Each structure stands twice: as C-alpha cells, then as structure tokens.
Structure 1
Amino acid sequence: MDKKVWKEQVIAAVDAMAPELIDMSLFLHKNPELSGQEYQAAQRLISAAEKRGFLAKKNISGYETAFIARKGTTGPKIAFLAEYDALPVLGHACGHNLIAAMSWGAAAAFAAVAKDRAVSYLIGCPAEETSGAKVSMAADGIFDDLRAALIIHPGDSNNMGGTSYATHPLKVTFHGRPAHVASKTNKGVNALDALIMFYQGIKPLRQTFTQETILAGIITKGGTAPNIVTDEAEGKFTIRALSSHYLEETVIPAVRRLADGIALATNTKVEAVHYEPLFKELINDPELMKFFQENMTLLGEKITLLEPNDADGSTDVGNVSHAAPTIHPDIFIGSSLSAHTPEFAAATGSPYAQERLLIGAKAMAMTAIDLLDL
C-alpha cells in the first residue's frame, strides 16, 4: 500500500471525526481558561484521547494541566502539540481552541491509520501565553526522542517558514531613598529618575547591536505620591532577538550594564530579574516543510513560504524546535486578522474557522504519514 492510499485514509478519518473536532473547538471557545488554569480543556482532550485507546499521563513538568497521550509502541515517534489557554478578557483571541482541535484530530487520525507502525503523541502544552509550559517540558527532555513535532496556528494567510524572536523579559527595579520633595535637610534619592533614564537609554542602546533586536517596556511602579521622592521604581521590558545565543550572550548583558551604570550614576541600587523564561527562536525543519507544502497542495491549498529571518512574535514552540524537528505553519481563517484582538477571537469561533481546522488536522496527519517507512 503506497502513501497516497494511507493519506486518503487519514483524510477520511479526520472527516469522520469532524463533529467531534468542531465540538471540541467550540467548547473551548465558549469556555476560555487562562494559562495554567485550563482544567476543563485538558480533561476534555484527555478523555477524548483515552476513549480512542491513547494512554495518558498527567501533571507534566510541574504543570497540572499538561499531559502526554500516546498510542502505539514502535516506529517513529510523532507528536502533535495542543495549546488551549486563553487570554484575559479576550478569550481565545489567539486561536488555541483551533490548535487543540487540529492537533487532536491529526493525532487520532494518524494513530488509527499507522497502527503499530508508529507512535502517535498528543502532547498537551498549557500556558503558551505566559510562562510557556513547553520551555520546562523541553528542559525535561519531553521532546528529545521525537521524529517530528507538529503544530499549526490560525492566521490571516496560509504560510510556512520564517522564525520567531527569542525573548527573555526583564523586570528592572531601582531602589532609592524616600523623602518629602520640600524637605530642606533630606533630598532623598529618586528611583523613578533612574528608571526613566534607563527607559530612555534602551532606545539608543538598541542601535549598537549588529543583529535585529527589540527593546521595549512599561513602567509598572512609579511611586506613591507626587510629593514623595520615589524610593522604588519598577519597569518590565521585553527583550528580543533573532537568535537566543545573541540574546543571552550580547543583548541582555548590555542591558544589564546599562542598568548598572545608571544605578552608579544616580546613587541607586538596581535589580534585574527575568520574570518569564527564555523562549528560543523557532527553527522550522526543511524536510517537514517540504512534506507539509506538498500535502497542503494535495488538499487544494496554496501556501506562502516565508524567508528564514522573517520573524513574527515569540513562542515556546521555539524551545521544542531546538530539541526535535518541528514545523509551525499558519492556516488561513479570515482576512485582515491580527491575533490578540476581539476580531480574532470572534473569527476563531466562526463556522468558517471550524471548517479550516479540518484542513489543518488533515495536513498534519498526512505529513506524519510521509515520515513512515512504508
């Protein structure tokens, strides 16, 4: 039996699951749960997997809502990554309801067709919007033995390739000495002045780097009253680069030196701590990209290939891609959409998006078939 027949079988398997997959997506959309609190979503996915003979293990890498569901014992290990956390206020404005349904559909269809020729994994990955469970999972070796890790993100186009920014945010806190602003004997030490100098300094600092970087931030604590010299001022800063190595070895040390220099000049003390883990840059595997493009074409879909350094946002899938061959393409669910907006949230619950998730599940399952030695 050639791969064409096997691919026809996974297409049929996804079509047979269509009501279940759409119901899964819409349930998550109507019941959004924040990062680390995705109890209903995780349990619904686990229950669905167990009903189809998957063996599930819960509480992975310190996350109660992370899980690994597996079916099969021998052959290449192929994982489909499910995300299911929502955003505050906006709900599923990043389309994780669709991601979860697509990955579950692909994992189930692939397992049903491949049987004992491969191991199909559905890996539940919570908290993508915050701490990124995949970071801890990658550090724990969860993805090390995989032949491939597949995930699709909804968007306003079919595209594949490019990368993501490596990111390692910093919280910078300056400590001074309080005083009344009108005191003649105690002028205090203004921590807010130091923080503002730092805020202003990161813009010209960015011009000194030889690789593309992003430095931006907000002041999260600026004082308690205008007539009191601020003794503690705090800001949160996103620090990103196209390479995690360049980020960690060049950019962040320079940012820390800037903070230290300003503290010395203003007679303040400074603390700079990472308040979120390192998200590494995404590496899309060329072989998987080739297979995925061919399968999208078979499904009647056109897909745009992005340039290798075309970066858009940051994702903990990047950490997975440093441990296993990975692809993270986008699938079209509507025109002129921008993630993390009310419009995107509405689109991810639309009837059209539910049709599109079936295409995504089929393309991933077909790509998995290409990895079998038939």
Structure 2
Amino acid sequence: MDKTALKEEVMAAVDTMAPELREISLFLHKNPELGGHEYQAARLLTTAAKRYGFTVQTNISGYTTSFIARKGSHGPKVAFLAEYDALPELGHACGHNLIAAMSWGAAAAFATVAGNRAVSYLIGCPAEETSGAKVAMAADGVFDGLTAVLIVHPADGNYLGGTSYASHPLQVTFHGQPAHVASKTNKGVNALDALVMFYQGIKMLRQTFTRETILAGIITKGGTAPNIVPDNAQAKFTVRALSSRYLEDTVVPAVRRLAEGVALATGTTVETVHYEPLFKELINNPRLMELFKNNMARLGETVTVLEPEDADGSTDVGNVSHAAPTLHPDIGIGCNLIAHTPEFAIATGSDYAQERLLVGAKAMAMTAIDLLD
C-alpha cells in the first residue's frame, strides 16, 4: 500500500471541499448556538454527511444535537470529533466553528480515499463548554473499540502534546437561621459568615496539596438584605488537578471536609454538589503525536511539542482519551490570541482561519491514512 500516494489523495480531497468547509465554518460563526441547542449546526453537519454517503444516527447519550456519522465497513476505525457549541455573548470565541469544519473535512476526505479499507466516523459532540456531551458518550461506550480519535483545536500557534486539567466543579451551600440584625432575642445563624470562613479556608487548603491543584470560586448568593441575617449562602468553585484520580480521591474529599468542619464550627449545615460532570485529564497518544507531527511537517508546518504535564484549561475530550487512543493538538490561526475573548471570536471568522482549517483537516486525514493496515 502506497500511503504517500494516498496522502496526496486526501490532501486533494480536502482542497476540493475547501468552499464547502469554509461555508460550514462561516455559517456556524454567524449563527452561534449554545450547548445543547446547536440545532442548525447539527442539521448542517448531518445533512453534509448524508450527502457523502455516511449513515447517520442522532440523539446520542441523551443529547438531541449529538450524532454519529459513519462510512466504511472494514479495517481501522478512526473518529473525528466535531464540536459546534458557542459561548454566551461571545459567540465562537473558542473556535468550534473551525473544529466542526476541520473534522468534517478530515472524515469525508479519509472516507473517500480509504473506501472499505477503514471506517470513518464524524462524531457530533454538543455542549463542550458546559455539560460536556463527551462525558456521557464516553460513559455509554461510544468511543470503545475505536482505533483512534482525532480533533484539532484553533490556538495562537501549532502545539502538540501536553494535557488538560481534570475538573469537577462544586457548588457549596451553607444553611443557617434568619433573624433581624437588631433583634435582642434572636441572633439567628449567619450562613454568609460560614461561607466567608470557608472561602478563606480554601486559600489555606490549596497550599496543602502535593500536586498542582486549582481552587477558585465566586459567591453567587450572600443574602437578601443587609438588615437580615442570611440563612442561605452559596458559592461555586472550580476544582481542578492534573490527575482525575488525585482530584477525586484527595482534592474533592478535602474540600468537602473543610466545608463540613466550617459548618460544625458555625452551627450551620452545608451541602456540596457537583454542578458540572467530571472532565478527566487529557491523554495524548504518543504514536498519534508522532504521526501527526510528521504530517504537519509534510505540510510545511512546524509544531511546538509541549511537556506531558503542560496543562491549559479543561475539556471533555479528556474522557474520550481514557476510552480510546486520542490526539488533541492545536493549530495556529493568529498571534497573541487568547481563547474565550472577543478577539478570538473575530479571529475564528477571519479569512486566514478558514485557510488554516484546511491544514488541520489535511493533517488529521493523513494521520488516519497512516493507520491503514
């Protein structure tokens, strides 16, 4: 099998699709939809997949805007992940419009060239910014048995490797007893005092962990009026570590013990609940990293390889990587860009970004070619 020739074919296939991929990316950019409500995006992508002969299954793992598109019958099973949810007010400030177009281009090009020598999947994954559909999909076995899972994220440069933080956010609510602040007979029990004590304790707790840990929060409810002792006070905390096992076995239990200790000391009661699911840390597959790096070089692209524990943010792709060999590199769409900002949102709709998505699609498709038997 001449994989060099096949790579030329998938690159040509992506180039042929360039107008379509640009149209998909810019449509999503101009019509941003929040997680779980990406109806236009899902319809656009599934319609394209059906047009190319993919069979499409929708409503995966309880998400109406999720889907699995498949083409091929034998050989390695390679999945390309499409994300397409936007951010409130900012729109596509994380570049999911580009991710969707890149993954579709790679899936279609690979399917066209590989034929029945492989199975090409485009898996539509809603709500990456919020509940993370991939968490439920991974738990349901959607990614089990896949040879490889690929997704490329836009960034300020070409990066490969690294990881992401495991994340399991907590909502902490203290309950006390209300009273008028001037009452001489009933002083109540101040839930806000308990929450403030807990908030201060978090700063000290953070210093006790032996591994890199992130604890940060905001008070979301502190009372109703200054002359009423608050009987309910609430905060939300992001709780992150480089290992999901360390996070679940060490960090989260310590945070809960602190909350319970504060409640005991202040005469309040406390509830701690996870308001988002567990996003596991990302495991980039070494073999896929090497293949992708070589294919980027073939495209004339240099790549910065990150250290294994170099983490920046959290993603539900981490859960996928615990179920199947996964690769999640970055591709540059401009300099000095920071995701989740208005500037990044503008960049993801630029002409340059639409050119760069073709590079990402080609690199993924060529990496998939390397996996053919």
Instruction: Output the TM-score relative to the length of structure 1.
Output: 1.00
The CA deviation at 1:315 is 0.1
Distance in 1 between the 2:243 and 2:369 partners?
32
The 3-state SS of whatever aligns with 1:94 is: coil
The CA deviation at 1:357 is 0.1
Query: Alignment length, in residue pairs?
Result: 373
Q: Does 1:99 align with 2:71?
A: no
Q: Give the letter for the 2:204 counterpart.
A: P
Distance in 2 between the 1:85 and 1:199 partners?
32
Q: Give the letter for the 2:223 counterpart.
A: G
Q: Give the letter for the 1:108 counterpart.
A: A
- Name 1:26's counterpart in structure 2: 26
Q: Does 1:65 align with 2:51?
A: no
The 3-state SS of whatever aligns with 2:16 is: helix
- Name 1:8's counterpart in structure 2: 8
Q: Does 1:360 align with 2:360?
A: yes
The CA deviation at 1:71 is 0.2
The CA deviation at 1:22 is 0.3
Q: Does 1:319 align with 2:319?
A: yes
Distance in 2 between the 1:323 and 1:198 partners?
36
The CA deviation at 1:255 is 0.2
Cα offsets for 1:205-238 (capped at 9, x unmatched): 0111000000000000000000000000000000
The 3-state SS of whatever aligns with 1:12 is: helix
- Name 2:303's counterpart in structure 1: 303
The 3-state SS of whatever aligns with 2:80 is: strand
- Name 1:50's counterpart in structure 2: 50
Q: Which runs of 4+ in 1 moved over 3 A?
A: none
Q: Does 1:230 align with 2:230?
A: yes
Distance in 2 between the 1:180 and 1:149 partners?
59
Distance in 2 between the 1:115 and 1:208 partners?
55
The CA deviation at 1:11 is 0.1
Cα offsets for 1:9-41 (capped at 9, x unmatched): 000000000000000000000000000000000
Distance in 1 between the 2:267 and 2:38 partners?
45
Distance in 2 between the 1:73 and 1:178 partners?
65
Q: How does 1:115-126 map to 2 (within 5 A)?
A: 115-126=115-126
Distance in 2 between the 1:333 and 1:326 partners?
22
The CA deviation at 1:278 is 0.1
Distance in 1 between the 2:315 and 2:109 partners?
26
The 3-state SS of whatever aligns with 2:302 is: coil
The CA deviation at 1:349 is 0.1
- Name 1:221's counterpart in structure 2: 221
Distance in 2 between the 1:15 and 1:227 partners?
67
Q: Give the letter for the 2:92 counterpart.
A: H
Q: How does 1:114-153 map to 2 (within 5 A)?
A: 114-153=114-153
Q: Give the letter for the 1:177 counterpart.
A: Q
The 3-state SS of whatever aligns with 2:6 is: helix
Cα offsets for 1:314-352 (capped at 9, x unmatched): 000000000000010000000000000000000000000
Q: How does 1:257-276 map to 2 (within 5 A)?
A: 257-276=257-276
Distance in 2 between the 1:283 and 1:247 partners?
16
**RMSD of the alignment, in Å?**
0.4
Q: Give the letter for the 1:72 counterpart.
A: G
Distance in 2 between the 1:74 and 1:65 partners?
28
Cα offsets for 1:267-290 (capped at 9, x unmatched): 000000000000000000000000
Q: Give the letter for the 1:272 counterpart.
A: T
Distance in 1 between the 2:106 and 2:45 partners?
13
Distance in 1 between the 2:75 and 2:39 partners?
32
- Name 2:167's counterpart in structure 1: 167
Q: Give the letter for the 1:239 counterpart.
A: V
- Name 2:243's counterpart in structure 1: 243
The 3-state SS of whatever aligns with 2:194 is: helix
Distance in 2 between the 1:142 and 1:19 partners?
31
Distance in 1 between the 2:197 and 2:2 partners?
65
Q: Does 1:204 align with 2:204?
A: yes
The CA deviation at 1:5 is 0.2
Distance in 2 between the 1:220 and 1:342 partners?
25
The 3-state SS of whatever aligns with 1:296 is: helix
- Name 2:186's counterpart in structure 1: 186
- Name 1:293's counterpart in structure 2: 293
Q: Give the letter for the 1:264 counterpart.
A: L
Distance in 1 between the 2:361 and 2:288 partners?
15
The CA deviation at 1:130 is 0.1
The 3-state SS of whatever aligns with 1:240 is: strand
- Name 2:78's counterpart in structure 1: 78
Q: Give the letter for the 1:238 counterpart.
A: T
The CA deviation at 1:128 is 0.1
Cα offsets for 1:240-298 (capped at 9, x unmatched): 00000000000000000000000000000000000000000000000000000000000
The CA deviation at 1:99 is 0.1
The 3-state SS of whatever aligns with 1:217 is: strand
The 3-state SS of whatever aligns with 1:41 is: helix
The 3-state SS of whatever aligns with 1:25 is: helix
